[in-house]
Structure 1
Amino acid sequence: MAAKLGSLHYVLDHIYGAFMHRTKMTPQFFSRGWGGKQLEMLERMFDQLFPEAAGQNWPPILVRPTWKTVWESKGACLREGVFRTPCDEQLLSALPPESHSARVAFLVPKSVPPQKMACVVHLAGTGDHSFERRLRLGGPLLKENIATMVLESPFYGKRRPMLQRGAKLLCVSDLLLLGKATIEEARSLLHWLDSEEGFGKMGVCGLSMGGVHAAMVGSLHPTPVATLPFLSPHSATVAFCEGILQHATAWEALRKDLAVMTLEEVRERMRNVLSLTDVTRFPIPKNPNAVIFVSATDDGYIPKHSVLELKKAWPGSEVRWVTGGHVSSFLLHNDEFRKAIKDGLDRLQWKESPL
């Protein structure tokens, strides 16, 4: 019975993927090609994130969002903030103008000093254009004195370029640009939560693509943070060269842009580019015991071997398996994601012991 149920979850992922990515109802990823010189610049930037440069460029630019209160109750407050992305001028010039201003939502318990609270930065998965889903994930954690900060990704939501439809990025370079800018913004937000707000513990989490970015941010942070990648591969190569998203990729447009004859040459170039997103090449986080991967047993997007590569690369980390596929786990296992957030934070020392 369990095997049949697992097969059903796997098949549901492929049915959903076929509907979303193999019909003419939606565009394909990278329909405008590789991105030319912009891709070459981003490849150099990502090389600088790897172990030999991991301790450099800290602290990041300190962001100070401009806030407005969305609502508040006796026990909690939700604010939304805007800040200029802290990316350097080279990266800023590569970003579309719509992505120059970043937006965050900040859900915080009231009447609790920050030193007695934890805060987790939630990063967006593919297609997550709004704050709502991640706020619903973080909301029940208020009773545990865990605040939720939700970052709107570049290229998503109000930061989406005018010509982009949905989550289908126009160029391969956009994928690296989205990732690099998200990493810089998340690091700056963690720095703000620590140095300006004084939170006692911090973490970073994300689902799918957001989990890859969360792993990178947690890896590069100079002090221990809870690092919580959910339903995440070890590299974007898995999603676009092995998983369902390969059927959503404009391979013919990429072949023409690369001026090569065979599809295999295009795929090899894609594998080389996306190897820059391989989390196993990043440093082991400062407290690997506070790294918890939550993965699905029958994920049609993320194969098990990819998850196990993460576990092997970061000794001391933990993998938790939930029964389901990528889509069903995304919908049904929020309680398991919340438990991982709480457990990861519990494995950290308080920055300052609560009174």
Structure 2
Amino acid sequence: MSAFDKIYRSALPMKFFTKGWGKPSTLLKLIENFKSVSMLKKFEQFAGGDFPIVVDMRTEHKNTVLVEGSFVSPFERALTNVMDAENSIARFQLVLPKEWSTKYKPICIHLAGTGDHTYSRRRFFLANRLLSDGIGSLIVMNPFYWKRKPKDQK
């Protein structure tokens, strides 16, 4: 664990990333490039356009269609080789009604809270309940969590 991690951890009462956040060089690269990606004009340049989606799995249940997939993160497009390989691919789970009740297809985007490493909590408590109202859900996996967690992060 780096000295930065030890100092930071000592100030926090919570038990997140107790053995380090990952490579200090990744954090430094993100800090160095924060200004360029936080400007709206710059953001529009790298976030716009086509992001091909890879469908890893599609499962149909009685009333539900479940799709898991991935795409190259817009951050990777903006800051090539700043993110670890695990973080450069954004991952998601799409929970849809098998048959839509209207011509509209509303979808709610669920971002993870701190400590929410998988899709299951958001799918169970949020997405499944929205399905009964004919609303689909896009559950996004946060960087540095679960499958997007760098190998050296503990």
- How far does residue 72 in structure 1 lie from its aligned partner after superposition? 2.2
Q: Identity over the aligned pairs, expressed in percent?
A: 27
Q: Is the 8 A contact 2:22 2:152 kept in 1?
A: no
For 2:128 and 2:13, locate their aligned partners in 1 and report how far apart those are by CA, in whole Å: 33
- Which is strand-richer, 1 or 2? 2
- Hey, what does 2:106 align to over in structure 1? 118
TM-score (norm 2): 0.73
Q: Under a length normalisation based on structure 1, what TM-score does the superposition of the two structures give?
A: 0.35
Tell whether the 8 Å contact from 2:46 to 2:78 is kept in structure 1 after alignment. Answer: no
- Answer yes or no: is the 8 Å Cα contact 1:109–1:147 preserved in 2: yes
Q: Once the two structures are superposed, what CA deviation does each residue of 1:67-107 show, in whole Å capped at 9, x if it has no partner?
A: 222x3223111111122223354423111011122211110
> Is 1:144 paired with 2:118?
no
Q: How many residues align?
A: 141
1:107 to 85, 91, 95: 95
State how far apart, in whole Å, the 1-side matches of 2:95 and 2:60 are.
9
AA paired with 2:53?
P
Aligned with 2:36: secondary structure?
Answer: helix
CA distance 1:26–1:56, change in 2 (3 Å): closer
In structure 2, which of residues 2, 19, 37 is the aligned counterpart of residue 27 of structure 1?
19
Q: Give the number of the structure whose residues are more often helix, by fraction.
A: 1
Report if aligned partners of 2:93, 2:119 keep a CA contact under 8 Å in 1.
yes
2:153 paired with 1:164: yes
Q: CA deviation at 1:19?
A: 6.0
1:122–1:149 CA contact under 8 A, matched in 2: yes
**For the residues of structure 2 that align with 1:94 and 1:124, how far apart are their CA atoms?**
22
**Are the counterparts in 1 of residues 109 and 138 from structure 2 also a CA contact under 8 Å?**
yes
Q: Which has the larger radius of gyration?
A: 1
User: 1:66 is aligned with what amino acid?
Assistant: V
Of 80, 99, 105 in structure 2, the residue corresponding to residue 92 of structure 1 is 80
* Gap regions ≥5 residues in structure 1: 1-16, 166-355
1:163 Cα offset (Å)? 0.7
Task: Find the residue that maps to 1:153 and give its secondary structure.
Answer: coil
Aligned amino acid, residue 69 of structure 2: G
Aligned residue for 1:62?
Answer: 50
Q: Is 2:61 the counterpart of 1:73?
A: yes
- Decide which of 118, 121, 124 is 1:133's aligned counterpart: 121
SS state of the match for residue 133, structure 1? helix
